[in-house]
Structure 1
Amino acid sequence: MADPGARAVAAEGTKVDRRTVLSGFLFGCGIAASIVDLFVFHLVLQWHHFYDLSTTHVALVADGFFHAFGWFITIGGLFLLADLRRRAGVAWRRWTGAVITGVGFFQLLDGVVFHKILGIHQIRYDVDLLLYDVVWIGTAVLALVIGLLMLWRTHPQPARTRD
Structure 2
Amino acid sequence: MAAVDEIVFHQLLHWHHFYDRSTPGVALLSDGLLHTAELLALVAGFFLFADLRRRRALAPGHAWSGVFLGAGAFQVFDGIVDHKVLRVHQVRYGVDVTPYDWAWNAAGVLLLLIGGVLWVRARRAGGRRTS
Report the TM-score, using the length of structure 2 for normalisation: 0.92
Partner of 2:71: 103
Q: How does 1:114-133 map to 2 (within 5 A)?
A: 114-133=82-101
How far 1:89 moved relative to its partner?
4.0
Partner of 2:22: 54
Q: What is the alpha-carbon distance in structure 1 between the residues aligned to residue 60 and residue 117 of structure 2?
A: 15
Question: Matched residue of 1:154: which SS?
Answer: helix
Counterpart selection for 1:138 from 93, 101, 106 = 106
How far 1:90 moved relative to its partner?
1.9
Count of residues paired in the alignment? 126
Partner of 1:161: none
Q: What is the alpha-carbon distance in structure 2 between the residues aligned to residue 42 and residue 142 of structure 1?
A: 22
How far 1:93 moved relative to its partner?
2.3
Question: Matched residue of 2:91: which SS?
Answer: coil
Q: What is the alpha-carbon distance in structure 2 between the residues aligned to residue 80 and residue 70 of structure 1?
A: 15
Partner of 1:33: 2
How big is each residue's C-alpha offset from its partner over 1:22-55, in whole Å with a ceiling of 9 and x where there is no partner? Answer: xxxxxxxxxx001x10000000000000000000
1:144 maps to amino acid: L
What is the aligned-residue RMSD (CA, Å)? 1.3
2:84 maps to amino acid: K
How far 1:118 moved relative to its partner?
0.3
Q: Is the 8 A contact 2:62 2:122 kept in 1?
A: yes
Runs of 4+ in 1 over 4 A off after TM superposition: none
1:131 maps to amino acid: P
1:142 maps to amino acid: L
Q: Is the 8 A contact 2:72 2:110 kept in 1?
A: yes
1:33 maps to amino acid: A
> If you compute each CA radius of gyration, which structure gives the higher value, 1 or 2?
1
1:99 maps to amino acid: V
Gaps of 5+ in 2: none
Partner of 1:93: 61
Q: Is the 8 A contact 2:61 2:121 kept in 1?
A: no
How far 1:83 moved relative to its partner?
0.4
Q: What is the alpha-carbon distance in structure 1 between the residues aligned to residue 19 and residue 63 of structure 2?
A: 32
Q: How does 1:65-104 map to 2 (within 5 A)?
A: 65-104=33-72
- My pick for the range that moved more, 124-133 or 90-99, is 90-99
